[in-house]
Structure 1
Amino acid sequence: MVDDDRARPATPSPLLVEDRAPYLDPGLPVEQRARDLLGRLTRTEKVALLHQHSPAVERLGLAPFHTGAEALHGVAWLGTATVFPQPVGLACTWDADLVRRVGEVVGTEVRAKHAADPSVSLNVWAPVVNPLRHPAWGRHEEGWSQDPHVTAWLATAYARGLRGDHPVYWRTVPTLKHYLAYGNETDRAVTSSQLRPRVLHEYELPAYLHPAAAGVVGAVMPSYNLVNGRPNHVAGELLDLLQTHAAHPLLVVSDAAAPGNVVTFERYYDDHVESHAAMLRAGIDSFTDNDADARPTVERVTAALERGLLDEDVVDRAVLRQLELRLRTGELDPGRDPWVVGPDAIDLPAHRALARESVARSVVVLENDGVLPLAPDAVVAVVGPHADRVLHDWYSGTPPYLTGLATALRDRVGAAHVRAADGATRVTLTCTTTGGTVRALPDGTLVADGSAGHDTSLVDVTDWGDGLLTLRQVATDLLWSGAGWVVRADARRVGGWVAQESFRTHRHADGTWSVQHVGTGRWVRVQHDTQGTLVAEAHTPDSAARFTLDIVRSGSQAVAQAVADADVVLVTAGNDPHLHGRETEDRPHLDLPASQLALWRSAAAGPARPVLVVVSSYPYVLPDDLGAAAVVWTSHGGQELGPGLVDVLTGDVEPTGRLAHPWPADASQAGDLLDYDVIAARTTDWYTPAPPRYGLGHGLTYGDVRCTSLTVDAGGAAAGVQDAAPGDPTAPAGPALAAHLRLTNTGTRTAHELVQVYVDAPGHRLPYPHRLVAHTRTTLAPGQDAEVTLTVPVRELAVRDVTRDLWVVEPGEYVLSTGPSSAHATHRAVVHLDGPAVPPRELLGRRVPAASFDTATGIDLVDRTRTAGDAVQVRRGADHGALVLRDCRTAGARTLTLDVARTAPGPASVEVRDATTDALLGAVDVPDGGSRYDWHERTVALVGPVGDVVDLRVTLRGAARLASVRAD
């Protein structure tokens, strides 16, 4: 093979060709400029651009570049920046304009970081649009809503703010994460999400397709997992589906270390050269692997080219997408870039004000018997682990300041009216070997040579549930940390990819205790040095140091003291975002920690009126006998958490927050964390047979808004095939229903109401989702009546017809309802839509994919080949599985042809029966030999007569795989 660099003629310096080089002409379209620039690169230069950290090409004016700056809810990992509420909190504002303004500030601060350090990428890795299918997902805090359409609506607004509104130049280039069907941290790089076509198109895809179609994102990141047996990083069909709907080509950036996973963990390919070629062919454009070391990526792609596994035009496509992205950031047009700011555009007064507004607007009042807003003269106790602390999550920036709840409340009502206690148990630990009490040296090093009662020996222990503890040195207010082997009290917060600030304890039979550092799994022992330094080194509790633990003050005592003379007690509960649920770790359960429930019951037992204030990254299952006067939820809100929360609690700001993620009534409603078939599992707010405790859209005002009537005008709307998907922001208006609601505010305060309309179709031939189809905000003064009309495009009623692969509104009755949430309908209206029925599934002379089944048991969706297509096989651990294909047209058929393969040696067969009569129609044995991708057509004569239209039940046994069924 001829070396490309030797074959290509030298390109003149851009300084000599400026007047002739189209890529330097800002008046030309970005696509034309990028293509011209691509043509000036050598093959070696192009391959080098495929890694996340790409080198400069000085002769063409290209600076060093890398993809990715974290901007989930503020600039992260780059020093001081404004920190806004987590996305799961921002979503509860139900305010796209506010969310857009937050995106603008975050984008501006990314620009400021870029001004201070040009290596800061203007390609931001946000928003995360994975629908929040299951509340146990560790990364719940990063998403927006359980409803994919609400997710798309708000994530589009955030991305629009990040992007800006200039037609050519982008403030930053947002990246959609994580594509696709990613919602578990347990085994996240090897689990395969099961997505049959309806679940794919109706539930998973909308959150990605709609922002892409709106033109507000410039990149997408595939997720670690597999879908139907194929790693998302080689899922070309899925990536093509997104690119087809995007307003312009999206740069596809791999997730960190995911390229290597395709070989090392997923074992989908045997070597990295082959896998890198497959990823590029599938649509990956940039490899985030081996940190800043581009060498392995460059070597693998180069080898793939030399071995003929990869054509250079595939590399060109990948590089072209990157060049288009970079041109959009103004990299080659600094004089024309409208988004340039100085490095001091951080933590501006307007940014602080918006952070506070965002917190207040995201707070959700879940229950209230009238205790809120707080009376102006009330004495308030604030207790619990979030009483006056503001915690960070993994993707938080470093806030310029933090203001907690108790501090903000004192600032608002005066210190004399506020009592505070965090509920931690204050202890001392004395080593049984040295006889010394553990104390902290000036540098934080913990040693066991102190004397009991010394200030440096006092430790506050906070129990985060299930035995997970943090230990805080009272004298310095710093947490114990096991980072670096020596145990020190030197951490201001829990943090890090692996949290170093969490511990567990073990009680021995003699009543002494040993301490385990969770981050390393090692137990604490005391060194044989002059001071008895504590180190996380022992392998077992028996080889660890033993301590006597003396309680100086119990947490319940401190809480009782704070509550003693209070009128109201705000009991804070919730999580630390680095513990019990975060990236790499799913939640162990959905309950509040037992220690927090005990604190709640202790505080609520007194005369003060108890208010539960949950500060968390996710919903909880609350006890039925909670007995709260009020329940309030907020996400971890960043620097203005305290002031924003106090604004709502005191009534200075009307509560406008509404849940974007339902809270289940019990854990069973959430279903299996790894089961992505929400239709079959009957999970999420769309399909659950029992209402959640708090539904989508739930949240109280301090007014009293009620709907008094609902009427729906069909306006001649009809059923039929739809030209656009539900929620498509680019679709024309089309025929619509008009829902007319009459509202009244019988309260004494102005109320901000979220008006919601849902649809059901109880008589539908398919399981039909209970889905939000329209919503709006309205404000009502005390005593005011108002009529609100919501337009419901007919396409919002559509489901995916998997037999023809299109959207269709089927004829029949649809029930539109309204109420304060998805869980409570106060009024309903029925409309009947006429139109053509969905025809039978054509089986005669046509391959019907097995993956398009209507129902299935004991079946897994798998990859038909490494590059394309789906098939089915018997679920691991089962000896057989079955699927049903409904309404199959078989008139005149004489034979059945099955496309079969096998997963392993051994028995393997497929039989087809009439699902109504159980009559056997045909059966085949799967041939031996070959790999799971060796497919065979097996044709059998139909046994007995077959009706014109039948439901087929197909049973797979043993190692059988099935791709399709055809009748002839």
Structure 2
Amino acid sequence: MDKFRRQAKELVRKLTLDEKFNFIATHQPPAESISFKEFFIGTEAARGFVGRKDDEFSTVFPQPIGLAGTFDTELMQKLGEIAGRECRAYHNENPKISLCYWGPTVDMERDPRWGRTEEAYGEDVCLAGEMTKAYTVGMAGYDENYFLTIPALKHFCANNTENTRINGNSYLPLRLKYEYYYAAFMNAIKYGGARSVMTAYNEINGLPAMLNPELNDILKKEWGMWFAVTDGGDFAQTVTAHKYFDSHAETLAHALKSGCDVMTDHDILVRNAAEKAIENNLITEEELDKNIENVIYARLKLGLLDENCPYNRISKDIVDNDEAREINLRAAREQVVMLKNNLLPVKKIKGRIAVVGALADENLCDWYTGKFRDAVSVYEGIKRAFPENTVIHDSLWDIACIKAPNGKYISVHEDGSVCADKNIPDESCKFEIRKWGQGTTNFFSVKYKKHLRFEDNTLKLHNRTVYDWFTFETFNVSICENEIIESYLHHQRMKADENGNVSFEKRTNVKKENKFRIETLSYGFERAEKIADECEFVFFCTGNHPMQSARECYDRKKLFFDVQTGRGRDLWYKNKNTVMILISSYPYAINTENRLLPAILYTTHAGANLGTAVAETICGKNNPAGRLAMTWYQSELDLPDITDYDIEKNQTTYMYFRGEPLYPFG
């Protein structure tokens, strides 16, 4: 038994029962009897440190599915060091920032329709295990006594669908359960720096994952894990969603006994459940002590009681510094994949260059992204790479105005308010109609370069970028003689009265005040053909919006490429020097583009260096040595129901697939 374990046991003995109840939730109040300060568990780490405040900048890595494609464990360890040091730097300034990292995500990606595909490391258990092992070694640091941070692997286990994740059951054949779904987690815990896991929302073979006794029997006793934590709200959902128990006290008692030590839920709810569990003899104080000891041990291993802990001296000077930026640029370069090539590189171009498409001048974030500086889009990167050329940009979205039921056009006012008050559309009435697939639409003001947003039951002008847990800039547009516009989240239907006032209401029937007409002023495909005809080279930049359509909570139904569909073909018909730059969180079935276009580059949303890495690849300065960490299928018809986890029976992933992939693993 090491000295920290002995110390943890001694500290637990000093705690009152009332104080012990404070160690079971992710927010842990001070414990005066042992001089413990307030403590929080949980900082996101998918792409490095994730700060939620505007001034909490960090080094933001490419999306993990792209990092997996580097097959570079040395790089992953260096990225882990950056993530660990930046988290410690912020914690030293503000102790409310947790040193218990939530990540990396190790869920096996056996289906590319999963809404969170960008977060994990592909479909191969060895690749995912080795890459996350290296990442967590760096995150944990190299001190002989203390951990820099404590990574918690997500989400143990078989959490690979969003639509039914809260109470769905992942049925795992026993061999696949241990050799595939469990095995991916083993390397980072047993041989890497991870000492915790976050349990999955779903059930595993009928048992909620947070109640899995193998948290104790395998992860702790065999692999050396210190503690487990639930996913957000899952503690309460064992009663409300799974309906597995009738009371939270029963849930808590069984979770603690199974090896789940910390509940990511309201601390008062958890405390009340603990009090009831003790009162009703569902768990003894001695049993409770074992879980609390695990948490205290972890806090001791972070050096929180040692003023001389070497990590206490790390300051924010190291955040996103030159060394970190150089390593991160290397990561952005290495994750670029050449899907097809009969044209690149092009070191010199005589004529004009077109950089067009939905993502040509964007550098977007997913939810688990920190704040990065000096972002470079592909358009900006190509301008820098070809300074002597004229570089043309066009998003290629249709530009339209919206005619309201009162016969007038919706316009945006200087104060950001919106009203249907223009008889003839002017610049304030023009919107890019941005359709991101899966039925999602944005209205982007051409004049103000900002999105319309559903807010206070009306439309208002908001930000240039869409970035919120709930994206109120996202709308559904349905055709029913006219266009019916609804808020995406709550399906409240937009209406306009005779005075042009725009509001929303919950209704099923369509009335006159709900009938709008989107009148196209400029078609993207027409501009595409004209631009392609006038330029020597065309770089078509497209892909997904990581905060809309497929993301956490939303799976894809199809693999079909449904963003600016056919635009690559339109460009190629006019200009055979058309290169597709696919910027995406997940695989697409780009069958037509693969058949027609001479070159296709794939990159994930790669952080600040996205445009630089792409431009360097185009002109030959970067060798695109990235590989695919997943099989790219030609259609969702190659796949079973997304809730079916038996990859052997269904012949999916590169290990069992018998069909012809669009692009193979590796």
TM bucket normalised to smaller: over 0.9
Aligned 8 A contact 2:528 2:571 in 1 = yes
Aligned 8 A contact 2:133 2:192 in 1 = no
Q: Counterparts of 1:303 and 1:506 in 2: how far apart (Å)?
A: 51
Among 184, 191, 207, the alignment partner of 1:214 is: 191
Among 360, 367, 385, the alignment partner of 1:412 is: 385
Among 111, 114, 137, the alignment partner of 2:88 is: 111
Q: Which has the higher helix share?
A: 2
Aligned 8 A contact 2:169 2:202 in 1 = yes
Q: Which residue of 1 aligns with 2:429?
A: 457
Q: Which residue of 2 aligns with 1:658?
A: 627
Aligned 8 A contact 2:569 2:596 in 1 = no
Q: Counterparts of 2:148 and 2:9 in 1: how far apart (Å)?
A: 22
Residue 672 and residue 115 in structure 1: after superposition, are their counterparts in 2 closer, same or farther (change >3 A)?
same
- Report whether the alignment pairs 1:336 with 2:309: yes
Q: Counterparts of 1:272 and 1:261 in 2: how far apart (Å)?
A: 9
Q: Which ranges of structure 2 fall in alignment gaps of 5 or more residues? A: none
What is the SS of the residue equivalent to 2:531?
helix
**Higher deviation after alignment, 362-371 or 103-112:** 103-112
Residue 684 and residue 238 in structure 1: after superposition, are their counterparts in 2 closer, same or farther (change >3 A)?
farther
For the aligned residue pairs, the C-alpha RMSD in angstroms reads 2.0
Q: Which residue of 2 aligns with 1:742?
A: none
Residue 671 and residue 373 in structure 1: after superposition, are their counterparts in 2 closer, same or farther (change >3 A)?
farther
Q: Counterparts of 2:113 and 2:549 in 1: how far apart (Å)?
A: 10
What is the SS of the residue equivalent to 2:6?
helix
Question: Where do residues 849-860 of structure 1 align in structure 2 (5 Å cutoff)?
Answer: none
Q: Deviations over 1:489-514 (max 9, x none)?
A: 202322322221111223343xx433
Question: Where do residues 800-819 of structure 1 align in structure 2 (5 Å cutoff)?
Answer: none
Q: Which residue of 2 aligns with 1:603?
A: 571
Higher-Rg member (1/2): 1
Aligned 8 A contact 1:471 1:480 in 2 = yes
Aligned 8 A contact 2:229 2:261 in 1 = yes
Q: Which residue of 1 aligns with 2:546?
A: 577
TM-score by length of 1: 0.66
Aligned 8 A contact 2:5 2:297 in 1 = yes
For 1:651, give the aligned amino acid.
G
Q: Which residue of 2 aligns with 1:516?
A: 486
Among 585, 589, 604, the alignment partner of 1:621 is: 589
For 1:524, give the aligned amino acid.
M
Question: Where do residues 612-691 of structure 1 align in structure 2 (5 Å cutoff)?
Answer: 612-623=580-591, 626-691=595-660
Residue 541 and residue 574 in structure 1: after superposition, are their counterparts in 2 closer, same or farther (change >3 A)?
farther
Q: Counterparts of 1:669 and 1:632 in 2: how far apart (Å)?
A: 24
What is the SS of the residue equivalent to 1:321?
helix
Aligned 8 A contact 1:97 1:157 in 2 = yes
Q: Which has the higher contact order (CA 8 A, sep 6+)?
A: 2
- Percent identity of paired positions between Structure 1 and Structure 2: 27
Deviation of 1:535 after TM superposition, in Å, equals 2.5
**Higher deviation after alignment, 616-625 or 219-228:** 616-625
Q: Which residue of 1 aligns with 2:43?
A: 69
For 1:546, give the aligned amino acid.
K
Residue 462 and residue 204 in structure 1: after superposition, are their counterparts in 2 closer, same or farther (change >3 A)?
same
Deviation of 1:153 after TM superposition, in Å, equals 0.4
For 1:514, give the aligned amino acid.
I
Deviation of 1:113 after TM superposition, in Å, equals 2.1
Aligned 8 A contact 1:409 1:642 in 2 = yes
For 1:322, give the aligned amino acid.
V
Q: Deviations over 1:622-642 (max 9, x none)?
A: 225631101111111112111
Among 322, 327, 330, the alignment partner of 2:300 is: 327
TM-score by length of 2: 0.95
**Higher deviation after alignment, 145-154 or 368-377:** 368-377
Q: Deviations over 1:371-415 (max 9, x none)?
A: 334545464322211111111111112222321101111011026
Q: Which residue of 2 aligns with 1:136?
A: 113
For 2:190, give the aligned amino acid.
A
Q: Deviations over 1:568-610 (max 9, x none)?
A: 22222211112221111111211100x5231111111113412
**Higher deviation after alignment, 620-629 or 600-609:** 620-629
Q: Which residue of 2 aligns with 1:361?
A: 334
- Report whether the alignment pairs 1:306 with 2:279: yes
What is the SS of the residue equivalent to 2:393?
strand
- Report whether the alignment pairs 1:36 with 2:4: no
Residue 115 and residue 237 in structure 1: after superposition, are their counterparts in 2 closer, same or farther (change >3 A)?
closer
What is the SS of the residue equivalent to 2:458?
coil
Deviation of 1:316 after TM superposition, in Å, equals 1.0
Q: Which has the higher strand share?
A: 1
Among 491, 494, 504, the alignment partner of 1:536 is: 504
Deviation of 1:28 after TM superposition, in Å, equals 7.1
Residue 377 and residue 432 in structure 1: after superposition, are their counterparts in 2 closer, same or farther (change >3 A)?
same
Among 413, 421, 426, the alignment partner of 2:399 is: 426
Residue 527 and residue 396 in structure 1: after superposition, are their counterparts in 2 closer, same or farther (change >3 A)?
farther
Q: Counterparts of 1:75 and 1:410 in 2: how far apart (Å)?
A: 30
What is the SS of the residue equivalent to 2:188?
helix
Deviation of 1:168 after TM superposition, in Å, equals 1.4
Among 409, 413, 418, the alignment partner of 1:446 is: 418
Deviation of 1:681 after TM superposition, in Å, equals 1.5
Q: Deviations over 1:895-936 (max 9, x none)?
A: xxxxxxxxxxxxxxxxxxxxxxxxxxxxxxxxxxxxxxxxxx
Q: Which residue of 2 aligns with 1:493?
A: 465
Count, aligned residues: 661
For 1:329, give the aligned amino acid.
L
Among 56, 67, 92, the alignment partner of 2:30 is: 56
Aligned 8 A contact 1:423 1:555 in 2 = yes
Residue 211 and residue 306 in structure 1: after superposition, are their counterparts in 2 closer, same or farther (change >3 A)?
same
Q: Which residue of 2 aligns with 1:506?
A: 478
Residue 356 and residue 376 in structure 1: after superposition, are their counterparts in 2 closer, same or farther (change >3 A)?
farther
Aligned 8 A contact 1:422 1:559 in 2 = no
Q: Which residue of 1 aligns with 2:255?
A: 279
Q: Counterparts of 1:452 and 1:374 in 2: how far apart (Å)?
A: 48
For 2:19, give the aligned amino acid.
E
- Report whether the alignment pairs 1:126 with 2:88: no
Deviation of 1:279 after TM superposition, in Å, equals 0.9
Q: Counterparts of 1:136 and 1:415 in 2: how far apart (Å)?
A: 42
Q: Counterparts of 2:388 and 2:397 in 1: how far apart (Å)?
A: 22
Aligned 8 A contact 1:392 1:638 in 2 = yes
Deviation of 1:484 after TM superposition, in Å, equals 3.5
